[in-house]
Amino acid sequence: MPTYIYMALTEEGENKKGTYYAKDKNEVLNMLIQKKYYPMKIIPVFFEINNFRSKICSNDLAIFSRQIFTMIHAGIPILQSIESIEEQTENKKFKNTLRYIIKSLNQGISFSQALERQQNFLPEFFIHMIEAGEISGQLEKILKNLSLHYEKETKTKEVIKKAMFYPVILFFLCVLVSIFMVEFVMPTFIEIFKQENIPLPIPTQILLWISNLYRQHKYSILFLFILLIYIIKILLRKEKVRFIFDDILLRIPFVNIIIKKIVFCKFSRTLGILLSSGISLVQALEITKKVISNQYVKKYINEMSKAIIIGKSLEESMKSVSFFPSILISMVKIGEASGQLDILLDKIADFYDEEIELGVQKMITLFEPCMTIIMAIVVGFISISITLPLLDMVYTIS
């Protein structure tokens, strides 16, 4: 949701200036009229530094969900609960987000709408789950389920971070060694080679070309790299481009296995939480579709929703799209027959959580030797490029 800067006059003629999150200018205009302000200017903010900041982490969301559930369960109103949490919060980014939520709630909008205005910082899943809780009247139950969900997500992320630590260190070490050799070591040796009029072998000529290119255009290369990332990010916002990208991801060997398991886990967990909170199956699938980021999978869930509307079971609709694994379909079948679909979906989500951890660890186990080999090749190439002319120089002198 975009931010607007407004300038207005009060009935007493006092100047008022501020910012407001809204869908469009009309919403800002209505807000000013309700306050009995005379609008002078309403300007959309096209560039915000906040848009480039990361979202609130899973651990903070788990604590927030648990705290607000406890307070609402004790009979404390939402606004008062969030004000109390905001006072205790030490994380500056989360504290500012809570302040904006409090400001929005004071304007008279619902909790989910206030969260939606902070969608740059809050995950879509969290916002839609709160919205579903308000619609169904099961907000307390959903908040409790959300706290459990984000606690599990935090544990999974911690396992992945620990496993990724060594490969990431290796990668950055490889990059730093390469930059140091190209920036400082290579030019010194090249000057020596030029003074001695030693013919340079092909590996040294290649390294010299890379060194000159980097030293002369390093800022241009950095700018182009950042520009490329920005263009890719903009393109991925377009539905057709995102659809093609997600389709390619599901076809890459090894990577597609992990991505599918993440999708199955998120699908099972989200649907299980929604069904246990009293949301209807069709509505639960619609919310689950919004939570899944892969556009290709969204298409399948949309087809499943249509099949359920015409009278098919969840198991039959999952079979019809030919995407979900037999183990997930079997569990859904048992769940529908026993009336414990939400419980079994939660169990299958736990199973896929473990599978994701094992899959990531396997990938990292393969990645570590690959990084070591790449580092050895890079450093070896640089060493050979410098050593060959030195040997020629020693041979010439002798």
* CA–CA separation, 73 and 68 (whole Å): 8
pTM of the model: 0.69
Of the listed ranges 14-23, 67-76, 201-210, the least confidently predicted one is 14-23
What is the per-residue pLDDT across 83-129, written as a single tens digit (0 to 9) for each? 999 888 888 888 888 888 998 888 888 898 888 888 778 888 888 88
Please report the pLDDT score of residue 397 as a whole number: 67
- Going by the DSSP 8-state scheme, the letter that residue 16 receives in this structure is E
Mean pLDDT for the chain overall: 83
Of the listed ranges 19-28, 81-90, 109-118, 307-316, the least confidently predicted one is 19-28
Please report the pLDDT score of residue 363 as a whole number: 78
- In the structure encoding, which two tokens stand for residue 201, read together? 């072998």
User: How many other C-beta atoms can be found within 10 angstroms of the C-beta atom of residue 233?
Assistant: 9
- Going by the DSSP 8-state scheme, the letter that residue 278 receives in this structure is T
Query: Which one, of 350, 209, 377, 181, lies nearest residue 272 by Cα?
Result: 350
Query: Which one, of 116, 109, 117, lies nearest residue 31 by Cα?
Result: 109
- Burial track 212-224 (b if 16+ CB lie within 10 A, e otherwise): eeeeeeeeeeeee
Could you tell me the residue ranges of all domains in the chain?
Answer: 3-46, 58-151, 152-398
Q: 58-151 with 152-398: one CATH topology?
A: yes
Which one is predicted more confidently, 317 or 118?
317
For the CA atoms of 182, 184, 190, 192, what is the dihedral angle to 10 degrees? Answer: -160
User: Which CATH superfamily groups domain 152-398?
Assistant: Type II secretion system (T2SS), domain F (1.20.81.30)
Topology of domain 3-46, CATH: Ubiquitin-like (UB roll) (3.10.20)
What is the average per-residue pLDDT within 256-274? 87
What is the per-residue pLDDT across 126-142, written as a single tens digit (0 to 9) for each? 888 888 788 778 788 88
- In the structure encoding, which two tokens stand for residue 295, read together? 């556009």
- In the structure encoding, which two tokens stand for residue 1, read together? 């949701």
- In the structure encoding, which two tokens stand for residue 26, read together? 């009309």
CATH code of the domain made up of 58-151 = 1.20.81.30
* CA–CA separation, 372 and 367 (whole Å): 9
